[in-house]
Chain A
Amino acid sequence: MSTATLYGLCSAVLVGLGLFGLIVHPQPLRKILAFNLIGGGVFLLFGVVACRGAGMGFGGDPVPHALVITGLVVAFAATALAVALLLRLFEQTGQATLRSDR
């Protein structure tokens, strides 16, 4: 098994773990954490594809690398917005929960 395949399997497990955390945790902040875990796994999958596309003197295909860099920044922006919404919900209602019946 090559290095790239090993990391690809790692990314598969990370996506599954993150999805489990997203479904199972009731607290929204834990869900945001799990979502970032999924993101890390997906970016790792991109990285595996890039590593397999190495050639022409580059260590890896540069196009997926650029996509992942863009994705990391956008994921941070989305996380920041999600956290701000959560904190606002907490200030308004005194609880951080996604349940609608109170």
Chain B
Amino acid sequence: MAFDTGLVLLVLGVAVWTIVARDTFAAVVGFVAYGLLLALVWVRLAAPDVALTEAAIGSGVTGVLLLGASTRLRRTETSGAGEKPGITLRLAAGMLCALVSAGVAAIVLKFPEPAPTLAPHTAANIAATGLGNPVTAVLMAYRAIDTLLETVVLLLALVGIWSLAPDRVWGGFPGARHHADPEGVLTFIAQLLVPMGILVGIHIFWIGSVAPGGEFQGATILAAMWILAMMAGLVDAPSVSRRWLRLLLVAGPTVFLAIGLAGFAMAGAFLAYPAPYAKLLIVTIEVPVTLSIAATLALLVAGPAERAPQR
């Protein structure tokens, strides 16, 4: 209990720092620390899958994105500060936020006893899916349609980002070309870490069927390795009009949708798996989905095209 209290105070302290820090860069660093501390909180709440996802996506990839953005927007720091709201608006906002917090706290304190739960339903049917990790079973079998739509949402976000490219570089290369010293430290760690990271990512994806892990966590590690390789200048970001890239991005959702539609023929409903083949179908969906999500996450961080395509 003392550990939990200390952790909560730490999380709230870092959150307050993120809000009140004057410098945006400091606020983003605080946000990355906040994400990592939240991952610890998730472990204390007995949710290791969510802890992995929070550390990887919530803190890691979002942190990279926001750090890059805060660096590019550094020139606007002082001009934005001139529009700070006056003391009355801040007091009113403070009161509104205190009311909202009190409302949520009241909800928390009035949670019904005994707690309603879907754990018995999950446990009753998990044997039919052939999986050992209940969260993966929920993601890929019970609520598979949510996961399918999530992959589509990721693609839509990527299409939205790519559509922001100016006309003159349409279909070109995302982001600036990174040049790192070939004898330097960044190149060294990229050459050392990327193969290890790919192995770790594949392991976490594969182990997700029986232990904490899964496709999103593994895909994020794979995406992080690609981002690292791009940042170190080892590989250049591919041009957004390349056919292999677009095929890679849509492969996951397409296979997912195809198996879902085949569920009508095989077991009578969309995304239904016939019982003896459930695990095989789930793995067949997971492999392309992992690759697609890894590519999508890396390209979401890389951003819209900024260099003209080669002719």
Shortest CB distance B253–A (Å) = 13
Residues 125-142 (chain B) with a chain A CB within 8 angstroms: 134-135, 137-139, 142
Known contacts A51-B46, A58-B134; is-contact A29 B66 (Cβ 8 Å): yes
B90 interface residue (CB < 8 Å to A): yes
**Once the chains bind, are A57 and B123 in contact (CB under 8 Å)?**
yes
Pick from A7, A15, A23: contact of B101, CB under 8 Å: A15
Nearest-neighbor residue (CB-CB) of B165 within chain A: A88
Q: Which residues of B contact A84 (CB under 8 A)?
A: 160-161, 164, 303-304
Among the interface residues A33, A37, A54, A74, which one has the most CB atoms of the partner chain B within 10 A? A33
Shortest CB distance A2–B (Å) = 9
**Once the chains bind, are B73 and A96 in contact (CB under 8 Å)?**
yes
A15 to B105, CA, bound (A): 10
Pick from B94, B104, B303: contact of A20, CB under 8 Å: B94
Nearest-neighbor residue (CB-CB) of A84 within chain B: B161
B27 interface residue (CB < 8 Å to A): yes
**Once the chains bind, are A24 and B108 in contact (CB under 8 Å)?**
no
A56 to B85, CA, bound (A): 52
B116 interface residue (CB < 8 Å to A): yes
Shortest CB distance A48–B (Å) = 7
Known contacts A5-B109, A19-B97, A21-B18; is-contact A83 B69 (Cβ 8 Å): yes
Known contacts A15-B100, A51-B45; is-contact A30 B27 (Cβ 8 Å): yes
Would you list 7 pairs from A and B whose C-beta atoms are within 8 A, ordered by A residue?
A8-B108, A8-B111, A9-B8, A54-B46, A76-B58, A80-B157, A90-B73
| 10 nearest A-B pairs in the assembled complex, by CB-CB distance | A59-B46, A53-B117, A16-B101, A8-B108, A77-B157, A52-B115, A12-B104, A62-B134, A26-B83, A66-B138
